[in-house]
Structures are given as structure tokens and as C-alpha cells.
Amino acid sequence: MSVAAIAHLVLPDTPYAMWVRGELEDYLHLPDGTRVEVVGGEIVVSPAPVYPHAAILDDIQRAVHYAQFSDPAYPWRVVQGINLNLIEVADGYIPDLAVVHADIDTQSRADDVLHLLPHQLELVVEVTSKSNADNDREPVFGRRTKATKWSGYARERVPYYLLVDRDPRQPGVTLFSEPDSASGRYGTAETWKFGDPVRLPEPFGVEIRTESWRPWSD
């Protein structure tokens, strides 16, 4: 099913309600590996990531894993491809990566949960793709004034949002913090260029190497 066809599809319930029940992906009859999210109340469909996208995520995971293995008391765990139920904004995301406390990780494994909730996350990571980069960024007046994942994460008070933007027009890494729920905005941003080490502050205290990170090809 094409994106255009999905946009005109009449659903038996809201996209969010179907996503929460785990029915949306099956109803759309999409190919395996397709990621289906609800952003700003709209269905967003993404193909499986290209290799450089996946490799960046691996670099970030390895940095957290190194800290974990170096210090048995390190409290953070990194997971990918989880369902995140944003109840307050009625959206459903699948972050590229999420960092959770070890206690949340242990309990979620034991409970075999279908979704995590925003208050269970300490940090989320998104790497932009050509097809839907605007969904990951701060809303820009005149281009997209509706909610994005950036504003959704802020409104649901996710403490840290790490955005890796592979767009050749504006490549770089930004760590957003100090979310304001009322405005749906992050108050602080720290940025790095590709090639510079990304140092995540406490409570994470890890350094991520980015020498091999590149913008996508036009």
C-alpha cells in the first residue's frame, strides 16, 4: 500500500487507538520491516533503515554498552525498536533508540510489555532519514506547524532527546534537554559536528565517536 493510499484510507478507529491495540500495522498490510508510527495524529510509514543509519545507532549502543561493561554499577540500558505510547498527546512512536534505567529494563522484560511510557525513558535517539526527517525535528513555521516527535517528546517530558541529522544541508548532532510540557519545547540544546566526539553529560557520562558518520547522499 502506498503512502498516498494510506492518507486517504478510512479506518475503523483513530490511528492512535489502533496503534495502541497493535492493529494498525496489520490493517495496513504493509511489507515486513516497515515501521508504522502515529505522529501528530497522522500515520507515518518508514522503510527499514539504510546501512549508515543502522551503523550510527550501533555506534551509540556500543558507547552505552562499554560504560555498562566497564562499571557493573552503571545504571543505564539501551534498547531499540520499542513501542512508545505517548498517552497525553495520543501518538505512538518507535524511537530509533531509547535509554532506560536498569530497573525499568528488568521490570519490562519480566512483564513482557507491549509499550513503554515516556516517564520510563531517560533519553531517546532519532537518526533522520530522507523520507521523514521533518518528523524528527523541531516544528518550523511555514513548513510544518503541526506536532513532530521533537515536540511530542518535550510535551511528554522525556528528559533528553539526541537527534542525529544526516541531512547534507544541516548535518550534525544535537542533544535537547529541559523539556517544557506546556509549550512542547526543549529549553536547551548542545550541538556537535560530524567527526567530533559527542559527550553525553551526567547521568550518562559516555562519549560517542562520530568519525565515520556522514550525511546521506543526494
Q: What is the mean pLDDT of residues 99-111?
A: 97
Banded pLDDT at 142 (limits 50, 70, 90): low
Burial class of residue 48 in the structure, from the number of CB atoms within 10 Å of its CB (0-12 exposed, 13-18 middle, 19+ buried): exposed
> CA 35, 130, 216 angle in degrees (round to 5)?
120
Question: Per residue in 49-65, pLDDT tens?
Answer: 899 999 999 999 999 99
Distance, CA of 90 to CA of 20 (rounded, Å): 9
Question: Per residue in 67-102, pLDDT tens?
Answer: 999 999 999 999 999 999 999 999 999 999 999 999
Task: Show the 3-state SS of 118-164.
Answer: HHHEEEEEEECCCCCHHHHCCCECCCECCCCHHHHHHHCCCCEEEEE
Mean pLDDT of the chain: 93
Does residue 3 surpass a pLDDT of 90? no
Pairing of strands 160-165, 121-127: parallel
CA–CA distances in Å: residue 42 to residues 6, 52, 78: 10, 27, 27
What is the predicted pLDDT for the residue at 2? 47
Give the end-to-end CA distance of the chain in Å, rounded to a whole number: 25
Distance, CA of 144 to CA of 147 (rounded, Å): 8
Q: What are the φ and ψ backbone dihedral angles of 18, each rounded to 5 degrees?
A: -70, -35
- Residue predicted with more confidence, 41 or 218: 41
CB 79 within 8 A of CB 113: no
Does residue 140 surpass a pLDDT of 50? yes
- Kindly report the pTM of this predicted structure: 0.93
> Is the bond preceding residue 203 a cis peptide, omega within 30 degrees?
yes
Q: What is the mean pLDDT of residues 97-124?
A: 97
CB 156 within 8 A of CB 120: no
Question: Per residue in 153-199, pLDDT tens?
Answer: 999 999 999 999 999 999 999 999 999 999 999 999 999 999 999 99
Half-sphere exposure of 173 (CA within 13 A, CB side): 23
What is the predicted pLDDT for the residue at 30? 83
